[in-house]
């Protein structure tokens, strides 16, 4: 029941109304109160107002410095004038003089630029942003008559999320700011929000929790609000009268605000936050300006609100601000020293966590953590990843071995088939490492400090019976400018308020510390945090994904060769490699690499990858040449030095340019031990031969005229046969049989077609097309294999045989070289797709294999994991498309089949059908994405004995890291003609990385156990090493290892990552 004073006019007596009538009357009073609060805001906060008369504008398509902008010609503009071009900029110059009636008063600039994002410059430095969420700027705290100000305002023509529309200039004004009225207004507004029953929804469409209508406290608040708003005179009060009325309002509400939260009320850890996508629906250049606006806003607010704590992730953004806005950066440093601005997150950018390699994830943390330490003397113990599209099971180990103990996200709220069961939990990774994880119950990382959101979070918290605290990062993201004054005014009033949880300002580290110490019996989640959403991101923007894989392996090989050269006294190109890595890490941001950005972003990305390929490619070539010059290459014939960047001996195909050879002649390649193998000159101008290369080492081969007894592979126009496998196609170019001579069994299922291209309708409704593949795509296949245009044998020799198929499917053409190599059971499908003007389609390739297993295994970073091949449970069905690194495998114990790739990431294995997603035709937000482009890629099928432990991990690396060769003039050298620089015993260990240490001239070797085994190993080296030290992933020394006679013993646990520091004798 409402208090009697709200049931009828004051001074009247009568019977209480019926409940429904009471509810209607309460709603009527709430409307009245809301109207009065709105009137106070519109009429009394900023009055009087005067138009700014001296306004001029200069438009440009460039991103200018302030100095350059000042030199542009400015023309006077009037309200109503239209301005703007797509991604254009207008610079406004405002000149203000204080009139007599504003003398001694606080004066605000009010300027609504219609949703445009702006940055105000004053006295030569940026001071605050303007946007849809803030349209005022405090010009003078205490103005003096005739005091002047000149402002330059940089305004982007595109809106917060990139949309362009022609802008209309509104009239800028100056106004007196009434501080007393402001305080009373926020007392009223914040209190009103605690009782308002207006329905709000989160960004996923779920309703927020409303107050309980018959709560006695609510009735008291409504009565107090009603009495308080009536204390204002809504006529034409003077400034002194307004101030007196505002004080009376605050006194009336004081008793309400004085009542604290209950003893057992939970706590919300509130921290200002600005989620800034590095790129998305705007290009990288615009991100720099978004940072400037947001950072300026936060620094300005910190002057006004001493309790305000702000967190900002992504060191890349700080680097951008340091370069473009040095005055802002100095302000950030000062606030970091005070402990109010908290650099957080540890990764260089908020990276995708499915597609980058394990080493890329390590470098994200290495570069990010070192930046924070160097710039701010600050270590962040948290991986802050609110908006990333799923999290690999390798992450907990990577985090713990990097000194990171905590993990924060919200994205799992978007699951489509199941609800993630926990909010605070221990996340256990592939190797058993754990981190304390928090998934925000209110599910909004750009949160409002509003009662409806706070109530929703409190009631939704899955661990509310065992944890008294949850997180509340508040502020407008993606260019909204971060936290605003309304956020902070509400925060002051809800800090300890009866009827709500406590809302307390604190840092992320303080929150996690309390979560850790005050919670009991938190649950455990084991394995990947798969997001049942955004599955199209494994495939969209295929060129970007190919560039990422290519760059990762290029940098890996360049580092290895350069590190070996460093051991022999050459300079290590550390700065150039760091620049390359930073560009690759930048492009792994969770809206760039996944393919969910606009076309302009990928134009930037293409240029950056080209820079990486040019620089690192030249460095690799130089390092390989330097290695070859040290090798004893004397012998008869063309000297070829082959180098193996992998940590095991491999028998593989080496290739060189055939130009020095006579196509009509026969050649042999002679190894250092005198073994001779045939050389095959291919249709592509390459001369190939099979050779053995030692672990992380080289061998010299001499190519000269000669003939060996080796016979060409058997190959007709429709079959390939190397004695291990026979591969047969029918007249329509369909792969009808793969027979394994070794196992005496067929690889494909009976009557099945392998290497079958399937085109599906791909019209997602769950999200934009770049992000999503909806499960119903399976319901509508459009075409299988298309039309065969040609099928021919194009190459046959003792090294390999090749069939070329060309087929037309939809508006596209596929050219494929099917390659079978001597001595190898791997069938390579070297593919070129002229992907036409396709729309809303998805291209997969499928292999129905003669294997039965309830689980398939997929490679992830630093290991692999199993996923079901059935849809028994909603959680299984939700994983109808999954990410993998270089391979997926389906095995039944004594036999299996693997599907490998050199740049594809989206797999699905259902029952016995293995499918790899090749291309999509998404046109939102990128309008062209993959269409009307030529795509080149290779995938491979590998039948094998046993399970994935029978060499599959190595095959994945070998497909992606072929041997490197260079020709030299035969000469003596200090290195023998065949030598290994580093090796490790066993088949289950991968030496993934060799590089120079960050801070000294030692060498870092990173390896991992790849089969899930406990095992003992011996690592040997021929390098001049005097000491071996184990470090963490950040290269902090932990313990000396016993190193003797060039060897060190290692005990490894399943999927363990180990980092060793080899101190060189110089």
What is the set of active-site residues?
Answer: 387
Instruction: Calculate the CA 765 to chain-centre distance.
Output: 23
CA–centroid distance for 137 within its chain: 34
User: Positive or negative, the Cα torsion across 1030, 1032, 1035, 1037?
Assistant: negative
Dihedral angle at the C-alpha atoms of 764, 767, 770, 775, nearest 10 degrees? -40
Distance CA 619, CA 572 (A): 10
Contact between residue 761 and residue 780 where contact means Cβ atoms under 8 Å apart? yes
Structure tokens belonging to residue 206:
């779920």
Provide, for the chain, the percentages of residues in helix, strand and coil under a 3-state DSSP scheme, each rounded to the nearest 5: 25, 35, 40
Can you name the residues that pair with 1031 across neighbouring β-strands?
A: 1037, 1059
d(C-alpha 1046, C-alpha 1052), whole Å: 19
Q: Choose among 722, 666, 259, 709: nearest CA to 498.
A: 259
Nearest to 722 by CA among 731, 730, 735, 711: 711
Could you tell me which residues come within 8 angstroms of residue 18 by beta carbon, excluding any fewer than 6 positions away? none
Consecutive H or E run containing 299: helix 284-304
Q: How far apart are CA 940 and CA 345, in angstroms?
A: 38
Could you tell me which residues come within 8 angstroms of residue 900 by beta carbon, excluding any fewer than 6 positions away? 826, 886, 887, 939, 940, 941, 942, 955, 956, 959
The secondary structure of 1031-1062 as a DSSP string is: E-TT--EEEEE-EETTEEEEEE-TT-EEEEEE
- In this structure, are residues 953 and 1011 in contact, taking their beta carbons and an 8 Å threshold? yes
Q: What distance in Å separates the CA atoms of residue 83 and residue 79, rounded to the nearest whole number? A: 11
Residue 105, CB half-sphere, CA atoms under 13 Å: how many? 24
Contact 397, 528 (CB under 8 A): no
Dig out the tokens for 607 from the structure. 């240029």
For residue 901, the Cα-to-chain-centroid distance in whole angstroms is: 22
Burial of 201 (0-12, 13-18, 19+ CB in 10 A): exposed
What gap in Å lies between CA 187 and CA 629, rounded to an integer?
A: 78
What six digits make up the tokens of 535?
Answer: 């599955």
Structure token pair of residue 887 = 């391979």
Q: Across 887-997, where does the E strand assignment appear?
A: 887-891, 895-901, 906-910, 913-920, 933-945, 964-968, 978-980, 982-984, 989-996
User: Cα–Cα distances in Å, from 874 out to 297, 361, 389, 779, 940?
Assistant: 45, 30, 19, 18, 31
Which positions ≥6 away from 284 have C-beta within 8 Å? 278, 601, 604
State whether residue 692 is helix, strand or coil.
strand
48 preceded by cis ω (within 30°)?
yes
For residues 582 and 607, give the distance between their C-alpha atoms in angstroms, rounded to a whole number: 14
Q: What is the DSSP secondary-structure string of 168-207?
A: EPPPPEEEEE-HHHHHHHHHHHHHHHHH-----B-TTSPB
792, two tokens? 């021919």
Q: Token digits for 425?
A: 């939990």
Interatomic CA distance for residues 489 and 106, integer angstroms: 18
């Amino acid at each position: 029941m409402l208090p009697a004073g709200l049931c009828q006019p004051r001074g009247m007596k009568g019977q209480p109304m019926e409940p429904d009538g009471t509810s209607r009357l309460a709603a009527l009073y709430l409307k009245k109160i809301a109207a009065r609060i709105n009137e106070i805001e519109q009429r009394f906060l900023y009055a009087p107002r005067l138009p700014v008369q001296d306004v001029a504008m200069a438009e440009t398509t460039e991103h200018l410095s302030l100095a350059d902008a000042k030199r542009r010609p400015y023309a006077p503009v009037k309200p109503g004038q239209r301005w703007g071009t797509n991604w254009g900029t207008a610079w406004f110059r405002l000149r203000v003089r204080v009139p007599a009636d504003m003398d001694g008063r606080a004066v605000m600039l009010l300027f609504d630029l219609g949703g445009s994002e702006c940055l105000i410059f004053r006295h030569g430095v940026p001071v605050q942003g303007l946007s849809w969420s803030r349209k005022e700027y405090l010009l003078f705290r205490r103005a003096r008559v005739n005091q002047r100000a000149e402002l330059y305002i940089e305004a982007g023509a595109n809106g917060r999320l990139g949309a362009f529309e022609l802008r209309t200039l509104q009239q800028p004004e100056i106004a007196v700011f009434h501080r007393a009225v402001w305080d009373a207004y926020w007392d009223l507004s914040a209190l009103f929000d605690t009782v308002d029953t207006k329905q709000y929804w989160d960004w996923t469409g779920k309703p927020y929790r409303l107050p309980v209508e018959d709560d006695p406290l609510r009735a008291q608040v409504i009565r107090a609000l009603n009495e308080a708003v009536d204390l204002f005179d809504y006529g034409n009060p003077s400034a002194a009268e307004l101030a007196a009325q505002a004080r009376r309002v605050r006194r009336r509400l004081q008793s309400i605000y004085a009542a604290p939260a209950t003893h057992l009320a939970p706590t919300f850890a509130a921290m200002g936050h600005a989620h800034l996508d590095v790129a998305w629906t705007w290009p990288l250049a615009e991100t720099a300006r978004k940072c400037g606006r947001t950072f300026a806003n936060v620094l300005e607010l910190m002057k006004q609100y001493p309790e305000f704590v702000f967190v900002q992730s992504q060191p890349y953004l700080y680097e951008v601000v340091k370069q473009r806005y040095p005055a802002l950066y100095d302000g950030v440093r000062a606030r970091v020293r005070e402990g109010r601005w908290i650099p957080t997150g540890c990764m260089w950018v908020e990276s995708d966590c499915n597609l980058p390699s394990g080493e890329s994830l390590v470098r994200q943390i290495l570069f990010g953590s070192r930046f924070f330490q160097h710039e701010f003397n600050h270590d962040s113990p948290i991986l802050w990843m609110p908006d990333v599209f799923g999290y690999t099971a390798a992450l907990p180990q990577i985090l713990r071995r990097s000194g990171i103990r905590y993990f924060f996200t919200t994205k799992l709220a978007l699951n489509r088939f199941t609800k993630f069961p926990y909010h605070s939990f221990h996340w256990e990774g592939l190797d058993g490492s754990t981190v304390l994880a928090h998934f925000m119950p209110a599910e909004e990382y750009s949160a409002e400090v509003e009662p409806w959101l706070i109530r929703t979070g409190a009631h939704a918290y899955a661990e509310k019976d065992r944890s008294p605290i949850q997180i509340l990062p508040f502020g407008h993201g993606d260019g909204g400018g971060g936290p605003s004054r309304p956020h902070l005014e509400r925060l002051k009033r809800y800090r300890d308020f009866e009827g709500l949880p406590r809302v307390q300002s604190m840092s992320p580290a303080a929150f996690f510390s309390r979560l850790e110490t005050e919670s009991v019996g938190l649950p455990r989640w084991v394995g990947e945090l798969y997001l049942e959403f955004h599955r199209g991101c494994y495939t969209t923007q295929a060129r970007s994904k190919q560039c990422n894989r290519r760059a990762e392996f290029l940098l890996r090989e360049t580092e290895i060769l350069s590190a070996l050269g460093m051991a022999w006294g050459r300079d290590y190109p550390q700065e150039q490699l760091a620049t390359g890595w930073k560009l690759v890490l930048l492009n792994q941001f969770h809206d760039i690499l996944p393919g969910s950005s606009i076309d302009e972003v990928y134009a930037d990305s293409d240029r950056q990858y080209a820079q990486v390929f040019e620089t690192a490619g030249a460095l690799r070539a130089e390092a390989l040449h330097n290695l070859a010059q040290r090798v004893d290459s004397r012998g008869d014939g063309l000297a070829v030095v082959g180098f193996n960047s992998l940590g095991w001996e491999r028998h593989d195909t080496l290739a060189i340019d055939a130009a020095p050879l006579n196509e009509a002649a026969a050649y042999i390649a002679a190894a250092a031990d005198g073994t001779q193998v045939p050389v095959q000159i291919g249709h592509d101008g390459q001369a190939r031969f099979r050779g053995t290369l030692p672990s992380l080492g080289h061998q010299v081969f001499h190519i000269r005229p000669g003939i060996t007894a080796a016979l060409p592979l058997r190959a007709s126009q429709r079959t390939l046969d190397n004695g291990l496998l026979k591969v047969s196609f029918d007249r329509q170019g369909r792969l009808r049989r793969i027979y394994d001579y070794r196992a005496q069994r067929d690889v494909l299922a009976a009557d099945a077609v392998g290497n079958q291209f399937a085109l599906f309708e791909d019209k997602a409704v769950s999200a934009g097309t770049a992000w999503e593949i909806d499960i119903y795509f399976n319901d509508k296949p459009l075409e299988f294999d298309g039309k065969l245009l040609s099928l021919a044998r194009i190459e046959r020799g003792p090294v390999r045989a090749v069939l070329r198929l060309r087929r037309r499917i939809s508006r596209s053409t596929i050219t494929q070289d099917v390659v079978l190599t001597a001595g190898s059971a791997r069938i390579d499908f070297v593919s070129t797709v002229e992907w036409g003007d396709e729309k809303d389609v998805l291209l997969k390739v499928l292999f129905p294999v003669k294997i039965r297993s309830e689980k398939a295994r997929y490679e992830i970073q630093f290991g692999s994991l199993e996923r079901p091949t059935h849809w028994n449970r909603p959680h299984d069905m939700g994983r109808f498309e999954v990410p993998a690194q270089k391979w997926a495998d389906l095995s039944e114990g004594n036999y299996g089949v693997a599907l490998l790739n050199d740049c594809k990431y989206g797999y699905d294995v259902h029952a016995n059908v293995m499918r790899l997603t090749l291309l999509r035709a998404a046109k939102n937000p990128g309008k062209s994405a993959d269409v009307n482009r030529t795509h080149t890629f290779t995938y491979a099928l590998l039948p094998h004995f046993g399970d994935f432990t029978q060499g599959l991990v190595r095959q994945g690396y070998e497909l992606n890291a072929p041997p490197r060769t260079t020709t030299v003039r035969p000469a003596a050298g200090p290195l023998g003609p065949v030598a290994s620089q580093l090796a490790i015993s066993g088949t289950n260990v991968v030496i993934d990385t060799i590089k120079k240490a960050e801070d000294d001239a030692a060498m870092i070797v990173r390896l991992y156990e790849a089969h899930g085994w406990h095992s003992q190993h011996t690592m040997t080296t021929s390098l001049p090493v005097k000491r071996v030290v184990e470090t963490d992933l950040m290269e902090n020394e932990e313990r000396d290892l016993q190193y003797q006679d060039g060897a060190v013993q290692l005990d490894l646990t399943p999927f363990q990552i180990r980092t060793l520091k080899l101190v060189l004798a110089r």
